[in-house]
Structure 1
Amino acid sequence: MSVLEENPDSPLKKRPPRWSDIWLKKTKPLKHVVFAMQLQSLASKDPKSQTLIPHFANIDRTLLLSDELLLKILSKLPLSQRNPNSLVCKRWLNLQGRLVRSLKILDWNFLVSGRSITRFPNLAHVDLLNGCLFSPRNSGILLTHRMVSMQMRYGNCSNWELLEENLLPVEVVDGGLQALANGWPNLRRLVVINASELGLLTLAEECLTLQELELHKCNDNVLRGIAACENLQILKLVGNVDGLYCSLVSDVGLTILAQGCKRLVKLELSGCEGSFDGIKAIGQCCLMLEELTICDHRMEDGWLAALSYCENLKTLRLLSCKRIDLDPGPDEYLGFCPSLERLHLQKCQLRSKKSVRALFRVCEAVREVVVLDCWGLDNDMFSFASVCRRVKFLSLEGCSLLTTEGLEATILSWLDLETLVVVSCKNIKENDISPALATLFCNLKELRWRPDAKSLLSSSLMGTGMGKKGGKFFKRT
């Protein structure tokens, strides 16, 4: 006979389990419900329930909700309330971290230590640009560039030397990419600088859903790693940046990129070198490419003719280009982009007649033309745009050399023009508006006219019916 059987009053005798214990064993939310019901029962029976009610009021009612249900509730709140909500308690802090999808990392240790993965387990967009720079704390000097912002110890060196001194080594950046790939395999967008081919290959193998990538200080060797990202759709390559760093992207890298990333939809080349061959490879291999942006290019003459190989290209943007194409070649070799709909020129130098003529020739199928703060666009340069017969939307801003006569000579030949925007073009005078141009204004669906600060056309046209065709009224700016 056991010891427990000899002494039935022993405190060591095990009590048979009750049904309520088994039922509530693994049901944490139900325990809170039963507890609340017991408190309510006691409060109704006990004449001294006034002492129980305050304690019951202090109970966290959200403990009765599961994490999944509380996440659905928190996700419906405005973004402006996320930070205050995370201060309620540790549970809400963790739940708010699960709702965050985009993060800009400023401290590299926060990434490699794993704290970022624990704190934000469901990230889809990560920006490592400023995190890859080692900035001394408590420094009174701040260097701000259009791409990066960092603190510095002293100011007696060039920006290029400062960036090279404070940029994390390639091996360290690759290690961070390894930790990032292991922690967020569902990553969709990444911004990084000074990565190598090995680091990007690791990223491509682990993050199969990566769709958008922005690479700074990129070169031809790095593009071998990008070519492994088969599902990449949006790509921005930054090669050479004046005053900050110098890196080479040539036809070799563009060809490697074209053969690997065949699903590209948007491509931006900033500070990249290349020529006809590189752009042609992209046009022939990336059949889904719809948007091409070229910023501050260093391409060789003759590259414009390769745009005709981009058969599905719909948008072409040229930003901050000091030149377009000084020697585009004969017209029979230029061709044109049959699907092109939008041509945007911003802060470009349009001083070469041969370049501007070839550009509009290649883009003769466009329906939307936007020219913003471009130097050198006078009447002769703008006259080359008359070859674009399908234009429906024209926006001119900051074109100080263009006159009313030059504007009229071109847009009167555009029979499909519906929208005209003229802003800050000081040589376009209202006194020079001819009857033919005034008739064109009456037939437009939308007209925004503010060539200078003294323009009175917007107020004088009120009540005349001008600019009301198609049900869209004249808009004052």
Structure 2
Amino acid sequence: MSVSPEQSLRPSSRRRVSWPDSWVKDQALRHVVFKMRRNSLSETPPPELFETIIEDLDLESSSIDFTSLLSDELLLLVLSKLPESQHIPDSAVCKRWSRLSGRLVHSIKLLDWEFLESGRLLYRFPNLTDIDLVRSCLKSIHNSGIVVTNKFVSIYLDSCLLEGGFMQKHDLLDSGVIDRGVRILAQGCPNLRRLVIIGASAQGLSCVAEECLTLQELELHCCPDSSLSGIFGCQNLQILKLIGFVDGFYDSVISDIGLTIVAQGCKRLVKLELVGCEGSYDGIKAIGQCCQMLEELTLCDHRMDGGWLAALSYCMNLKTLKLKSCKNIDLSPGPHEHLGSCPALEELHLQRCQMRDKQGMRALFLVCEAVRELIFKDCFGLENNVFGIASICRRVRFLSLEGCSLLTMEGLDAVVLSWKELQRLKVVSCNNIKDSEITPAMASLFSVLKALKWQPDSRSLLASGLEGTGLGMKGGRSFKGV
């Protein structure tokens, strides 16, 4: 094939790397490696040193793996500087990067139970401290295309109609299989800090308590009273979430028996969340008497017997009480003089709760009389008369109302003006509260508040109308978000 003079004079688009170029790059890399090793003996290498590799070397121009000259410690230090989202993609570069990147992963949600039982999980990620096993314990149909999501779990469904709920007992792995996997996990991850598990028995949880002495947070799904004896040895457990009954998903029973076991075995609890749990005065009393460090208690869709509110007075150090999606507060709270109170309580959160029972609401506010922050969000039945009971809490400094459509300006005015220590106010999406109904007393209160967020409806013009007038200003802050 002949070559024209023009083609012979045309410069080549790809230049081969000559021996001098290769020698210079090799010497530059050795220089960088020497500097990194010297610095690693004394202190952590400065960030500028990592940039030197990019400046001195054109890695894309050669197929040589220059990172092979770095020790595992130095390469691991480089990889640790990358964002966490890059750890998994980096592991696909080569086997060495896969092994080193796995050391940087500390939290994972397992989807394949076989990955745990085969030992590949612990080999691939030896430094795990936070593991969620719920999805891997469900025998779901991944190619069904139908997904039902709850705030606690998501499962794939068959196309046929289900009777009795979305999740059946046969959809969950056998407890023996789960216990075996939990044992492998506990023995391989002695530094585990957080574990989320479903359907484990007392035997499996006992292994976790024995092997994982640093476990601080535990979330148990579908674990009845009989299983809770397994966490009796979790002496350092600080955060516990028990999910019992969830309509359409779980139907396990957690009663006073389970709450008493938890109280006697986990005395260092700081936060406790009970979802769909049964119980009564006795169970909450046991928690209060034994868990004296308890600062936050959350009850979601509780099934407590009447009279449980009076037991809250035994939680002497309780600072935050949260009630979520509760169909009632307390159907039979008993005489007010027997209720007691929580002297250290600072925050009371009510979210998506039914609040039509005035007797239960009065008992709640009496127990929470010392509260400093009162938060209502999307509560049903919060009308003027019910909200008026909140005037019992005379030390409120922060009030937040969101999605309370039955409350009017008249009801808000009567309560808020009675609170002499109020400093912050937030009113959002409360459509029956109108700007036109703001009284002079309320306007005067707005001018001395430290923080005010006023958006009762989309047509509210108060914030823009007060701009530049000085209202809502104190200490140099105006309409600060609360």
Same fold (TM over 0.5): yes
Select which of 304, 319, 324 maps to 1:319: 324
Stretch of structure 1 that moved more, 162-171 or 283-292: 162-171
* 1:91 alignment partner in structure 2: 96
* 1:248 alignment partner in structure 2: 253
Select which of 199, 215, 227 maps to 1:210: 215
Separation in 1, partners of 2:142, 2:273: 34
In the alignment, structure 1 residue 332 sits paired with structure 2 residue 337: yes
Instruction: Output the amino acid matched with 1:274.
Output: G
* 1:192 alignment partner in structure 2: 197
3-state SS in 2 of match to 1:160: coil
Instruction: Output the amino acid matched with 2:308.
Output: W
3-state SS in 2 of match to 1:280: helix
Contact 2:157 2:166 in 1 (8 A): no
3-state SS in 2 of match to 1:204: helix
Instruction: Output the amino acid matched with 1:359.
Output: L
Cα distance, 1:470–1:119 mapped onto 2, change above 3 Å: same
Runs of 4+ in 1 over 6 A off after TM superposition: 53-56
Contact 1:340 1:363 in 2 (8 A): yes
In the alignment, structure 1 residue 469 sits paired with structure 2 residue 457: no
Q: Aligned-residue CA RMSD in angstroms? A: 2.2
Superposed CA offset, 1:361-397 (max 9, x none):
1111111111000001111111111111111111001
3-state SS in 2 of match to 1:344: strand
Separation in 2, partners of 1:270, 1:130: 19
Contact 2:167 2:250 in 1 (8 A): no
- Output aligned runs, 1:397-412, within 5 Å: 397-412=402-417
Q: CA deviation at 1:467?
A: 1.2
Structure possessing the higher radius of gyration over alpha carbons: 1
Separation in 2, partners of 1:94, 1:405: 65
| TM-score normalised according to structure 2 size | 0.86
Select which of 257, 263, 271 maps to 1:258: 263
* 1:291 alignment partner in structure 2: 296
Select which of 58, 63, 67 maps to 2:68: 63
Contact 2:451 2:481 in 1 (8 A): no
Q: CA deviation at 1:36?
A: 4.9
Separation in 1, partners of 2:337, 2:151: 40
Separation in 2, partners of 1:159, 1:108: 26
- Output aligned runs, 1:21-420, within 5 Å: 36=26, 57-158=62-163, 160=165, 162-420=167-425
Separation in 2, partners of 1:137, 1:466: 57
Cα distance, 1:162–1:316 mapped onto 2, change above 3 Å: closer
Instruction: Output the amino acid matched with 1:316.
Output: L
3-state SS in 1 of match to 2:458: coil
Contact 2:108 2:130 in 1 (8 A): yes
Q: CA deviation at 1:287?
A: 0.6
| Number of equivalences | 432
Contact 2:166 2:248 in 1 (8 A): no
Separation in 1, partners of 2:99, 2:164: 40
Cα distance, 1:142–1:57 mapped onto 2, change above 3 Å: closer
Contact 2:167 2:248 in 1 (8 A): no
Stretch of structure 1 that moved more, 53-62 or 402-411: 53-62
Separation in 2, partners of 1:92, 1:55: 18
Contact 2:187 2:211 in 1 (8 A): yes
Separation in 2, partners of 1:354, 1:328: 8
Q: CA deviation at 1:356?
A: 0.6
* 2:447 alignment partner in structure 1: 442
Identity %: 62
3-state SS in 2 of match to 1:345: strand
Separation in 1, partners of 2:379, 2:28: 76
| TM-score normalised according to structure 1 size | 0.87
Separation in 1, partners of 2:139, 2:449: 55
Separation in 1, partners of 2:113, 2:273: 27
Cα distance, 1:56–1:144 mapped onto 2, change above 3 Å: closer
Instruction: Output the amino acid matched with 2:120.
Output: R
3-state SS in 2 of match to 1:428: coil
Separation in 2, partners of 1:464, 1:394: 24
Select which of 423, 429, 445 maps to 1:424: 429
